[in-house]
Structure 1
Amino acid sequence: MDLNSAAMFAQVVECGSFTQAAEALDMTKSTVSRKVADLEKHLGVRLITRSTRQLTLTQEGERFYQSCIQMLEIMSQAELEVTASQDLIRGRLNIAMPVELGQKVMGKYINAFLKEYPNVTIHLELTNRDVDLIAEGIDLYAQVGAVSDSSMVARPFHLSHRIIVASPEYLAQHDTIEHPSDLVSPHHQVKVSNVVKLPYWELTQDEQQEIVNLPYRLRVNTITSALLAVVDGLGVAMLPEFICRPHLEEGRLVQILPDWQLPAVPVSFVYPQRQLIPKRLRVFIDFMIDNFKQR
């Protein structure tokens, strides 16, 4: 098997069809199909399940595709190192991160990176859903919360501090909250249900610990939606401090139980383990972390 076969197979997977792959490779569809069939025969396994509507990778095909991507990246990087200046950073990065993190924090640093490295293209998806980096071809994900997948590399760069807030209107209509034990019905929360899985609130003060499991009247999947609902007096919420800060300063929100602390939530850049990651990805991560620390 040669590198051309691996590259052709990877192109078919990324295009999702023999027709589109043939157009991208400037070859006939029959040639591409025959080459993939020859590759399957050489390997002794079926890589792709073909149907009239779509192509589906077999388990062997998925594993072989990931190996092809790593091999092609290694060869591309090796070629750059011997034929081009190491100052030339180029290529595409597929990046995903939670909506508010991208909009409120990271956007300006991404823009600054693109200005400094004009030969890099970024495809950025802002989403609060769970993502599958390998299946979706994502190079980098900015994860809020603990990283549990041992197949991923994580570079922590920040601790996000949470606080409990409510509007003055809400607090005027409900019983006083002086202790975590006061956070029970008829109080209710605006719950954020996103990639940060926090089933209850764990508050500490000195050596004392209290668990709060407040019922919700509204559950949303973005921090911004929860913030707007809390400002409108719909309940109590646990939100990132930096999101709440301007509303606290302007009196639209009040921090509840400020002498009690909630666990800080780590924020990390996460990417699949590889023998050699593209230089553009290493440079992007370093650039983002350095700029974030200087903010």
Structure 2
Amino acid sequence: MDLNAISVFAQVVDCGSFTQAAENLNMTKSTVSRKVAELEQHLGVKLITRSTRSLVLTAEGEKFHQSSMQMLEILNQAELEVSANQDLVRGPLKVVLPVELGHQVLGSYIHQFMHQYPQVTMSLELSNREVDIIAEGIDLYAQIGELADSTLVSRHLTRSPRVLVASPDYLQQFGVINSHQDLTFPHQQVEVANKAARIPKWTIQDENGDSYPFELPNRLRVNTITACLKACIDGLGVAVLPEFICLEHFETGKLVRLLPNYKMPEVEVSLVYTDRQLMPKRKKVLIDYLLQSFQSRV
């Protein structure tokens, strides 16, 4: 089997385009198409369904892509281990982070890492979508809340305190909230509906340790914390938000922290990745870098 053809196929899938793959590989588009066609002929199956606007992997193509990415990674790692530059941190990384976590927390650490290791390239996606780490060939993902797939490795990064908040205008219109008993109609909630964040239903705990569920009708459901924050500031309801994103708005008076004598659960934030026997050095260094960066903040 032609390893070069496999590498070309992987590049086409990553780019989602024969034209872009050809540019990245410094080949002609016809050469890239021929390599993929030869690979399909050798395997006896169709790997990619082509249209004028998009490329779609067949079921066989999906399976072969997963296997080929693992094989290419093992070959690359083997080359590094026997080369004179085996200590060099280099090569591509594919990272997916939740939007706000990437923008306001992890982004600066990623940038520092890239400065420190100039021979590493990275595809960084900020998204609140659900991801399939294995199928998509993702090197590292930041999970908010519980991990659903027990076959993946999870490393504790930090815990995110949550606060219950509303705007002064909202409280003036719908009434003050002095205890859990006030969290009833006509109060309404702005909720973050994020499938990727696996967070249990909210509860609040009073000074005696008694817990109460926080359940209000949804006035608005949004898919990002930033949208929830903006809606809450604009007086559309009560919200549960990460404490760090609200601090400046407490100072300016745009938000009021509700029930400060009650406790809310903290949310686990973890780094998640596949457990490979031959982990690329660049991936291990990135994981260690992020973990150490957060430890140094404490």
TM-score (norm 1): 0.86
Matched, 1:287 2:289: yes
Q: Which runs of 5+ in 1 are unaligned?
A: none
Alignment of 1:40-119 (within 5 A): 40-50=40-50, 54-119=54-119
CA contact (8 A) 1:22 1:29 kept: yes
Distance of 2:116 and 2:18 partners within structure 1: 37
My pick for the range that moved more, 51-60 or 96-105, is: 51-60
My pick for the range that moved more, 216-225 or 199-208, is: 199-208
Computed over aligned residues only, the root mean square deviation of the Cα atoms, in angstroms, reads: 2.7
Distance of 1:36 and 1:118 partners within structure 2: 32
CA contact (8 A) 1:74 1:276 kept: yes
Could you tell me which residue of structure 1 aligns to residue 164 of structure 2? 164
Could you tell me which residue of structure 1 aligns to residue 197 of structure 2? 196
CA contact (8 A) 1:92 1:123 kept: yes
CA contact (8 A) 1:181 1:212 kept: no
My pick for the range that moved more, 62-71 or 52-61, is: 52-61
Deviations 1:199-256 (A, max 9, x none): 7422233442211210122322222222233233332111011111222244432221
Provide closer, same or farther for how the CA distance between residues 158 and 32 of structure 1 changes in structure 2, counting only shifts above 3 A: same
Distance of 1:98 and 1:30 partners within structure 2: 38
Q: Which runs of 5+ in 2 are unaligned?
A: none
Matched, 1:222 2:224: yes
Distance of 1:227 and 1:52 partners within structure 2: 41
Q: What letter corresponds to residue 291 of structure 2 in structure 1?
A: I
Secondary structure of 1:96's aligned partner = strand
Distance of 1:43 and 1:100 partners within structure 2: 43
TM-score (norm 2): 0.85
Deviations 1:35-78 (A, max 9, x none): 54554454454433455655432222211211111111111111
Distance of 1:233 and 1:53 partners within structure 2: 43
My pick for the range that moved more, 88-97 or 41-50, is: 41-50
Distance of 1:144 and 1:81 partners within structure 2: 34
| CA apart distance, 1:185 | 0.9
Alignment of 1:255-270 (within 5 A): 255-270=257-272
My pick for the range that moved more, 31-40 or 177-186, is: 31-40
Alignment of 1:145-160 (within 5 A): 145-160=145-160
CA contact (8 A) 2:66 2:137 kept: no
Provide closer, same or farther for how the CA distance between residues 13 and 106 of structure 1 changes in structure 2, counting only shifts above 3 A: closer
- Corresponding residue pairs, total: 295
Q: What letter corresponds to residue 102 of structure 2 in structure 1?
A: G
Provide closer, same or farther for how the CA distance between residues 187 and 278 of structure 1 changes in structure 2, counting only shifts above 3 A: same
Could you tell me which residue of structure 1 aligns to residue 236 of structure 2? 234
Provide closer, same or farther for how the CA distance between residues 198 and 267 of structure 1 changes in structure 2, counting only shifts above 3 A: closer
Secondary structure of 2:147's aligned partner = coil
Secondary structure of 1:294's aligned partner = helix
| CA apart distance, 1:157 | 0.9
